[in-house]
């Protein structure tokens, strides 16, 4: 079955750019939307945005212009970049697939295990 | 943004008893053209990613035990666990996917009494 794996640095300095990649295995990245969600320590879930396999994107306005999500279909990967990070961006970052069935997209049905990113000098 | 509000924040239920969690959205997530509620429930155990339990408000994800059921429509939804098992201890989140930004409830922590 489809599996997702996040990768990237676990420590990022304030004001720098956080970069993570999610590798999709066991299935194709095509025909789905792919999301990034984060969870600060001890807190709830925040949807950051998604990318369609074609490259179209939708972002959470709360992140303003700091977030960029892209897709590389040749590698079956999609990526997250978050610029100008602060301590408030310290979180577990998850990648996830938006489920599809019956001609509709629905909740996020496949998740990566998550990767912890700490913002600190 | 659609605000999702869960109640209660925490809940303690005896093994074998029923557990019910509520979620209210600040606006309807019922799409009139297909009569579907764009609403989901997730379960998150410590150190694990969330797991999709229910989508379209009442459709169980494949492999989810039938003791889990979802109900409601429009702005008011419930997740019911008919007979609580020890492995159901977790935090439960509701989520709307009616409009972006997708939003989650604050979570309900379910424990054994």
Cβ contact, residue pair B95, A107, below 8 Å: yes
Under 8 Å between Cβ of A21 and A77? yes
* Partners of residue B108 on adjacent β-strands: B92
User: Can you give the pLDDT at residue A105?
Assistant: 87
Of residues A62, A104, A114, nearest to B36 (C-beta): A104
Share of chain A above pLDDT 70, in %: 100
Question: CA nearest A114 in B: which residue?
Answer: B49
Between CA B89 and CA B112 the distance in angstroms is 7
Q: What is residue B20's predicted lDDT score, i.e. its pLDDT?
A: 98
Spell out the long-range contacts of A108-111 with Cβ–Cβ below 8 A and sequence spacing 24 or more: A108/A35, A108/A37, A108/B40, A108/B42, A108/B50, A108/B52, A108/B95, A109/B52, A109/B55, A109/B61, A110/A1, A110/A2, A110/A3, A110/A4, A111/A4, A111/B49, A111/B50, A111/B51
Would the CB atoms of B101 and A44 count as touching at under 8 Å?
no
pLDDT tens figures, B51-90 = 999 999 999 999 999 999 999 999 999 999 999 999 999 9
d(CA B93, CA B97): 13
pLDDT at A64 over 80: no
Q: Which of A68-82, A90-104, B49-63 has the lowest mean pLDDT?
A: A90-104
Among B69, B94, B26, B89, smallest CA distance to A108 is for: B94
Q: Quick one: residue A109, left, alpha or beta (phi over 0 = left, psi -120 to 50 = alpha)?
A: alpha
What's the whole-number mean pLDDT along residues A95-118?
93
Q: How many CB atoms lie within 10 A of CB A98?
A: 18
To test the contact with chain B by mutation, choose from A93, A100, A107 the residue with the greatest count of B C-beta atoms within 10 A, namely A107
- State residue A62's pLDDT score: 96
* Residues of A whose CB is below 8 A from B34: 104
Retrieve residue B78's tokens. Answer: 């419930």
pLDDT beyond 90 at A104? no
In a 10 Å sphere around its CB, with 0-12 CB exposed, 13-18 middle and 19+ buried, how is residue B110 labelled? buried
Across A79-89, average pLDDT: 98
The model's pLDDT over A5-14, given as tens digits with 9 standing for 90+, comes to: 999 999 999 9
Q: What is the pLDDT of residues B80-112, one digit of tens each?
A: 999 999 999 999 999 999 999 999 999 999 999
Spatial contact of A29 and A102, defined as CB atoms under 8 Å apart: no
Residues 72-91 of B with CB under 8 A from A: none
Mark yes or no for CB contact A45/B104 under 8 Å. Answer: yes
pLDDT at A52: 95
Nearest-angstrom CA–CA distance, A113 and A39: 12
Chain A interface includes B101 (CB < 8 A): yes
| Number of Cα atoms under 13 Å in the Cβ half of residue A50 | 22
């Amino acid at each position: 079955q489809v599996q997702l794996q996040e990768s990237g640095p676990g420590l990022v300095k304030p004001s720098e750019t956080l970069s993570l990649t999610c590798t999709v295995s066991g299935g194709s990245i095509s025909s789905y939307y792919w999301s990034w969600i984060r969870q600060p320590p001890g807190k709830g879930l925040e949807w950051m945005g998604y990318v369609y396999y074609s490259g179209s994107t939708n972002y959470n306005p709360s992140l303003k212009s700091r977030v960029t999500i892209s897709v590389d279909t040749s590698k079956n990967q999609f990526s997250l970049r978050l610029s100008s990070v602060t301590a408030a961006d310290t979180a577990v970052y998850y990648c996830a697939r938006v489920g599809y069935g019956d001609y509709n997209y629905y909740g996020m049905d496949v998740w990566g295990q998550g990767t912890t990113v700490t913002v600190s000098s | 943004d659609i605000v999702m509000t869960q109640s209660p924040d925490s809940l303690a239920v005896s093994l074998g008893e029923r557990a019910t969690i509520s979620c209210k959205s600040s606006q309807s997530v019922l799409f009139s053209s297909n009569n579907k509620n764009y609403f989901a429930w997730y379960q998150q155990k410590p150190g694990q990613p969330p797991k999709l339990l229910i989508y379209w408000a009442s459709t169980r994800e494949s492999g989810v035990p039938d003791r889990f059921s979802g109900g409601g429509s429009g702005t008011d939804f419930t997740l019911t666990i008919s007979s609580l098992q020890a492995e159901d201890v977790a935090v439960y989140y509701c989520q709307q996917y009616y409009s972006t930004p997708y939003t989650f409830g604050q979570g309900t922590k379910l424990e054994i009494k």
